[in-house]
Amino acid sequence: MNPQQVKVFDTTLRDGEQAPGFSLRVSEKLHLARQLDRLGVDIIEAGFPIASPADAEAVRRIAQEIRRPVIAALARCHRADLERAAWSLEPAARGRIHTFIATSDLHLQAKLRMSREQCLQAAVDSVRFARQHTDDVQFSAEDATRSDLDFLCRVADAVIAAGATTINLPDTVGFTTPDETLDFFRTIRTRVPNADTVTFSTHCHDDLGLAVANSIAAVQGGARQVECTVNGIGERAGNAALEEIVMAFHVRRDRYEYTVGIAQKEIYPSSELLTRLTGQAVQVNKAIVGRNAFAHEAGIHQDGILKDRRTYEIIRAEDVGAPWNPLVLGKHSGRHAVQKRCKDLGLDVEGAELVEIYRALMAIADDRKTLTDSDLLAVVSSVRTAQPAAQGPVDPFDTPPAAAHALRDRGYGHGV
């Protein structure tokens, strides 16, 4: 493996699907797994088989059909969980059992009611049992970033000796910061014997809005697997967003000399499919895949985009498979954007007529929020059927023309 190659571990179908409102049926999980395969993720965490018969069946069906990526199944450090995960992965061309137990004193005392030594033994026993079913075993230390560092290193050392091939150190509650994360991974990789024989992984939650930044910091600290989800969905505030990590590496190659095997043009289609299957919309200002990610209403921005897209866009919409229709007409728009949209609709407007159309649009823009093509066509029609514009210079910020009043009479403007 290239030392700068980072594996993408997609947990949309497991951690993402656990989030309230994101539950998927077996057929829907299989449908999304096919798209994740097209997206090029290295590992698909297909589910948590012990959670329900349907989840176990979903993992098994995905393992039967999806052959290129590794198919992972989650299991607690319980024999029943591990057996169910192993059954679900039997048909896989490349299967991974992902077993986990919390290592922070808070979780050990308040949730698990066990000692550190009991935790250590459970982790070792589970990894050994998992290795009887597959050579690919991932161990996760839940709440790793709030765990005692000495104890965490002991656990990592022990599970590596027991046969774990990937060590995941999750920021389960989104508590840490990028500088801490960088030091955290560097320290553990320095202190754990045989650390260079396994892949270290990061799994960050977004409770403080730092999941992507922390994931990138972990990679800088030596992690070579990032766990993430499409659209950043997941427990509470969600997981690190796959699309943001991938495009950060792409756009800032000058800072992040890491490579991933993601087909970038499948990013937006993956986001759209997830939205359709779950019925959960993406926030409009979501980076990379939000409706406004490549949209511009401000006149200054629109003018810049029309002259050179690089003035206000660091990513091209088509690079992530998204449609590019950047000019949103609204109260902040300028005349250049109005003229361009008219031209796109086959309307040649300029000079005084353009100013009249612009003034009429701005007169109704406050009330209509966003102006549609239908609004624009109605305005053009009203301006062209109204009395000819006055001769001489026209002030675009002057009182709205008669056309604007006519539009309001026809239902545009206040109260609409």
Structure confidence by residue, pLDDT tens digits, 97-154: 999 999 999 999 999 999 999 999 999 999 999 999 999 999 999 999 999 999 999 9
| Rounded Cα gap, residues 86 and 74, in angstroms | 10
Domain boundaries along the sequence of the chain: 7-278, 328-409
- Which pLDDT belongs to residue 149? 98
Per 3-state DSSP, the chain is made up of helix, strand and coil in percentages (nearest 5) of 50, 15, 35
Q: Which single residue is written with the structure tokens 């992507």?
A: 212
Task: Encode pLDDT of 139-151 as tens digits.
Answer: 999 999 999 999 9
163: number of Cβ within 10 Å: 17
Cβ-defined contacts of 291-296 (< 8 Å, 24+): 292/328, 293/317, 293/322, 294/322, 294/324, 294/326, 295/325, 295/326, 295/327, 295/328, 296/326, 296/327, 296/328, 296/337
| Rounded Cα gap, residues 299 and 305, in angstroms | 10
Is the model's pLDDT at 52 over the cut of 60? yes
- Which pLDDT belongs to residue 151? 98
Is the model's pLDDT at 82 over the cut of 50? yes
Confidence of residue 390 (pLDDT cuts 50, 70, 90): very low
Pair type for strands 7-10 and 43-47? parallel
Architecture of domain 7-278: Alpha-Beta Barrel (3.20)
121: number of Cβ within 10 Å: 14
Higher model confidence: residue 414 or residue 288?
A: 288
DSSP secondary structure of 94-108: SEEEEEEEE-SHHHI
- Which pLDDT belongs to residue 377? 84
In eight-state DSSP terms, residue 315 is S
Q: How far is CA 349 from CA 259, 328, 329, 334, in A?
A: 48, 18, 16, 14
Taking a C-beta distance cutoff of 8 angstroms, is the pair 41, 275 a contact? no
Question: Who contacts 81 (Cβ-Cβ below 8 Å, separation ≥6)?
Answer: 49, 50, 75, 99
- Which pLDDT belongs to residue 330? 75
Residue percentage of the chain with pLDDT more than 90: 70
Longest dimension (CA), the chain: 89
Taking a C-beta distance cutoff of 8 angstroms, is the pair 32, 249 a contact? no
Is the model's pLDDT at 249 over the cut of 60? yes
Which residues on neighbouring strands pair with residue 10, listed in sequence order?
Answer: 44, 228
Mean predicted confidence (pLDDT) in 348-353: 88
Give pTM, 2 decimals: 0.84
Task: Encode pLDDT of 290-325 as tens digits.
Answer: 887 876 666 667 667 668 888 878 999 899 998 876
Q: What are phi and psi of 252, to 5 degrees?
A: -105, 50
Per DSSP, helices labelled H in 26-131 are 26-39, 53-65, 79-89, 105-107, 116-131
Higher model confidence: residue 296 or residue 267?
A: 267
Which residues on neighbouring strands pair with residue 72, listed in sequence order?
Answer: 45, 96
Which residues on neighbouring strands pair with residue 71, listed in sequence order?
Answer: 44, 95
| Rounded Cα gap, residues 119 and 104, in angstroms | 10
Q: Which single residue is written with the structure tokens 């989104």?
A: 174
Mean predicted confidence (pLDDT) in 270-288: 95
37: number of Cβ within 10 Å: 19
Q: What are phi and psi of 383, to 5 degrees?
A: -65, -40
Query: What is the average pLDDT score of the chain?
Result: 90
Mean predicted confidence (pLDDT) in 374-395: 69
- Which pLDDT belongs to residue 375? 80
Q: What is the tally of helices (H) and strands (E) in the chain?
A: 16, 10
